[in-house]
């Protein structure tokens, strides 16, 4: 086995190889750890490796297979998991000092489902602290590099997961997306990232950031792999009251071209603005041309309230953050400082345990929820949120899917935006409205021509937004886009 | 204008230690920067005022779907006592330590 085998592996290819006994689950898991050992020194994608557990799990699977047990889609597949998702007995820090040394006491529902499906967990990946950021620079532990250019960020907040998949340090990964945290790093690192419909995937065991926006989703090398992972982790869960009974049939994994061709795609004028980097603009043109060649019809649409989405989001999200993060006080678990009395202890634990961006958002949230400002900010933002959702409702009467860029630029340089929060926030303007409206959206790498060696080297993603619970539409188009020559 | 006293008041309400006296020392310039950054963000929010939202009902969740509740019993059982004790920052035998609640 060589590292080049690893570089080639998708979930689908791994599954074929395992079925044809080209390799064992143990061999591949071991090969991944060897390669991570060598390569992750440069990338810093992982915060923690679960080598012993993973190898033991892979060995168990090989024994079961030798006994004739059936191979499922995810049997033995080595995955990387964002460090805000709980795996029983393993560290989970959310890249924060306040959870340093904390070990998860139960499995997140998505983890339990993946364990059932036979997946192997290689380790936990770096992220912006408590998923707050767009570059993974807000991790208190390390800076993750973009595998395509080590001077640039991998995006965030699921930057470790995106970088791990892009650098072949895992076959696929899980991330979480509150305002673009799966799709933007997927775009920056050249991988596929799916933010499912609000309610499609359980968040039980995800360290909550903003509960009306958070979703867990896959980061993968192909759209087909994203569909496989998504199908496994979705569905009703008694431990997340927002989950819905989902009924994703065969169309998710085996979309039919005759159905895909009938879909109409909308191009919202508010997303194709003059502020787009020229290479992003060019990339979008090439995607549209390719999809037209499939016979898909395009239509110009308008989402007039798009410009208010950023302000709306930066009121609603911090409000929920300030409530959700109230539980981190250093009393029952996590990092604790020395203090004279209880109030002092809370203040010291939180003042020292949380990083700057987390503190900034807690204060923002406390402000917009405080009496006297509630109506002017929080309540106003909730009304704007409805208007943004109604924009999408109107658009989906005319079209089935909406196509936009994922981010206005390719990956930016490390340190470029870290000193200016507002400019960092602006890198999410195309992904935020989707969370506010609870819609599914996928980021897919634009296939850039390889004939010219001096082509743009940085990956660029395009975003497909679907109707509620219509992941099959966006993943279906994506699967046919991937197959085009 | 969002001022330093507002920041102090809010950080107190949020149980965050951002001490005035430490401004120069431990929190350094970050304290001033925090205030300036917040002011910039609030300024950005001003754009919402131009949008007429009269008669619009606030949207309170991620979708309009209703929450699905289960019966109030756990099929998983609670967390094991050992797991919770292991996670506790200060333990003395089976006693869990916290600083005095009353002065």
Tell me how far apart the alpha carbons of residues A55 and A224 are, in angstroms, rounded to a whole number: 26
Can you tell me the mean pLDDT for A179-202? Answer: 98
Tell whether B83 is covered by a domain.
Answer: no
Indicate if the pLDDT at residue B28 is higher than 70.
no
Output the pLDDT for position B21: 39
pTM: 0.94
| Contact state of A105 with B100 under an 8 Å Cβ cutoff | no
User: Residue B22: which domain range?
Assistant: 4-50
| Contact state of A311 with B30 under an 8 Å Cβ cutoff | no
Output the pLDDT for position A485: 77
Output the pLDDT for position B26: 37
Return mean pLDDT, chain B: 79
ipTM > 0.90 (yes/no): no
- Sequence-distant (6+) residues with CB within 8 A of A58 are A24, A25, A26, A28, A29, A30, A76, A78, A120
Q: How does DSSP assign A416-459, residue by residue?
A: SSTT-HHHHHGGGTTTHHHHHTT--EEEEE----SSSTTS--S-
Give me the number of domains chain B comprises: 1
Tell whether B11 is covered by a domain.
Answer: yes
- Known active-site residue A157: yes
Tell me how far apart the alpha carbons of residues A410 and A421 are, in angstroms, rounded to a whole number: 18
Tell whether B79 is covered by a domain.
Answer: no
Tell me how far apart the alpha carbons of residues A478 and A442 are, in angstroms, rounded to a whole number: 9
Tell whether B94 is covered by a domain.
Answer: no
Provide the H-helix boundaries in A167-266: 183-189, 223-233, 257-261
Tell me how far apart the alpha carbons of residues A465 and B70 are, in angstroms, rounded to a whole number: 31
Helix (H) or strand (E) run with residue A177 in it = strand A172-177
pLDDT, one tens digit per residue, over A114-163 is: 999 999 999 999 999 999 999 999 999 999 999 999 999 999 999 999 99
- Known active-site residue A181: yes
| Residue A187 to chain B, least CA–CA distance (Å) | 24
| Contact state of B79 with A343 under an 8 Å Cβ cutoff | no
* Residue B55 forms contact with A (CB below 8 Å): no
CB pairs under 8 A between A and B: 164
Can you tell me the mean pLDDT for B4-25? Answer: 76
| Residue A164 to chain B, least CA–CA distance (Å) | 29
Output the pLDDT for position A432: 98
CATH of the domain at A230: 3.90.1300.10
Return mean pLDDT, chain A: 94
- Kindly report the number of other CB atoms within 10 A of residue B53's CB atom: 18
Q: How confident is the model at residue B79 (pLDDT cuts 50, 70, 90)?
A: low
Give me the number of domains chain A comprises: 1
| Contact assessment for residue A445 and residue A264, using Cβ atoms and an 8 Å cutoff | no
Can you tell me the mean pLDDT for A49-75? Answer: 96
Mutation target vs A (from B1, B2, B17; most A CBs, 10 A cutoff): B17
Indicate if the pLDDT at residue A111 is higher than 70.
yes
Is the bond into A259 cis (omega within 30 degrees of 0)? no
User: Residue A6: which domain range?
Assistant: 1-485
Output the pLDDT for position B75: 65
| Contact state of B88 with A377 under an 8 Å Cβ cutoff | no
Active-site residue (options: A134, A135, A176, A181): A181
> Strand order in A120-125's β-sheet?
A46-49, A120-125, A78-82, A172-177, A215-220, A192-195, A441-445, A461-466, A401-405, A264-268, A297-301
Tell me how far apart the alpha carbons of residues A331 and A323 are, in angstroms, rounded to a whole number: 17
Which of these, A470, A466, A461, lies nearest to A405 by C-alpha position? Answer: A461
pLDDT, one tens digit per residue, over A212-266 is: 999 999 999 999 999 999 999 999 999 999 999 888 889 999 999 999 999 999 9
């Amino acid at each position: 086995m060589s590292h080049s085998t690893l570089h080639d592996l998708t979930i689908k290819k791994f599954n074929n190889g395992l079925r044809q006994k080209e390799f064992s689950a143990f061999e591949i898991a071991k090969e991944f750890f060897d390669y991570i050992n060598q390569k992750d020194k440069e990338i810093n994608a992982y915060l923690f490796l679960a080598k012993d557990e993973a190898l033991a799990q892979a060995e168990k699977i090989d024994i079961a297979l030798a006994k004739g047990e059936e191979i499922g889609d995810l049997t033995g597949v080595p995955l990387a998991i964002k460090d805000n998702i709980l795996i029983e007995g393993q560290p989970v820090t959310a890249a924060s000092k306040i959870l340093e040394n904390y070990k998860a006491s139960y499995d997140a529902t998505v983890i339990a489902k993946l364990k059932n499906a036979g997946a192997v967990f290689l380790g936990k990946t770096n992220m912006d602290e408590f998923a707050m950021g767009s570059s993974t620079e807000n991790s208190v532990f390390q800076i993750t590099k973009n595998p395509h250019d080590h001077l640039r960020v991998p995006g965030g907040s699921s930057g470790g997961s995106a970088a791990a998949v892009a650098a072949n340090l895992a076959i696929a990964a899980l991330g979480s997306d509150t305002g673009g945290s799966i799709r933007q790093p997927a775009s920056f690192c050249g991988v596929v990232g799916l933010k499912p419909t609000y309610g499609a995937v359980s968040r039980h065991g995800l360290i909550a950031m903003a509960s009306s926006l958070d979703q867990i989703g896959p980061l993968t090398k192909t759209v087909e792999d994203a569909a496989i992972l998504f199908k496994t982790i979705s569905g009703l869960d008694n431990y997340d009251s927002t989950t819905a009974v989902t009924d994703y049939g065969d169309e998710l994994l085996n979309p039919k071209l005759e159905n895909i061709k009938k879909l109409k795609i909308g191009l919202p004028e508010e997303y194709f603005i003059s502020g787009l980097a020229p290479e992003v603009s060019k990339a979008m043109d090439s995607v549209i041309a390719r999809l037209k060649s499939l016979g898909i019809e395009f239509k110009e649409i308008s989402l007039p309230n798009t410009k208010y989405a950023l302000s709306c989001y930066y009121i609603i999200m911090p409000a929920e953050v300030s409530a959700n993060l109230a539980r981190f006080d250093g009393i029952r678990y996590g990092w604790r400082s020395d203090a004279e009395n209880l109030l002092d202890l809370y203040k010291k634990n939180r003042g020292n345990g949380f990083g700057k961006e987390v503190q900034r958002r807690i204060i923002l949230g406390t402000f917009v929820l405080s009496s006297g400002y509630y109506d002017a900010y929080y309540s106003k933002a909730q009304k704007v949120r409805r208007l943004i959702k109604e924009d999408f409702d109107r658009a989906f009467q005319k079209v089935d899917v909406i196509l936009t860029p994922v981010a206005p630029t390719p990956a930016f340089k490390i340190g470029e935006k870290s000193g200016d929060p507002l400019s960092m926030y602006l890198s999410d303007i195309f992904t935020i409205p989707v969370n506010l409206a609870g819609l599914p959206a996928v980021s897919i790498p634009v296939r850039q021509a390889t004939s010219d060696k001096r082509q743009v080297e940085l990956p660029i993603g395009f975003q497909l937004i679907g109707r509620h619970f219509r992941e099959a539409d966006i993943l279906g188009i994506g699967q046919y886009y991937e197959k085009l020559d | 204008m969002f001022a330093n006293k507002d920041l102090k008041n809010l950080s107190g309400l949020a149980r965050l230690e951002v001490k005035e006296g430490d401004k120069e020392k431990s929190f350094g310039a970050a304290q001033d920067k925090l205030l300036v950054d917040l002011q910039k963000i609030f300024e950005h929010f001003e754009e919402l005022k131009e949008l007429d939202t009269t008669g619009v009902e606030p949207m309170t969740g991620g979708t309009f779907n209703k929450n699905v509740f289960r019966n109030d019993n756990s099929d998983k059982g609670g967390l094991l006592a050992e797991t919770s004790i292991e996670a506790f920052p200060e333990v003395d035998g089976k006693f869990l330590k916290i600083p005095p609640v009353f002065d």
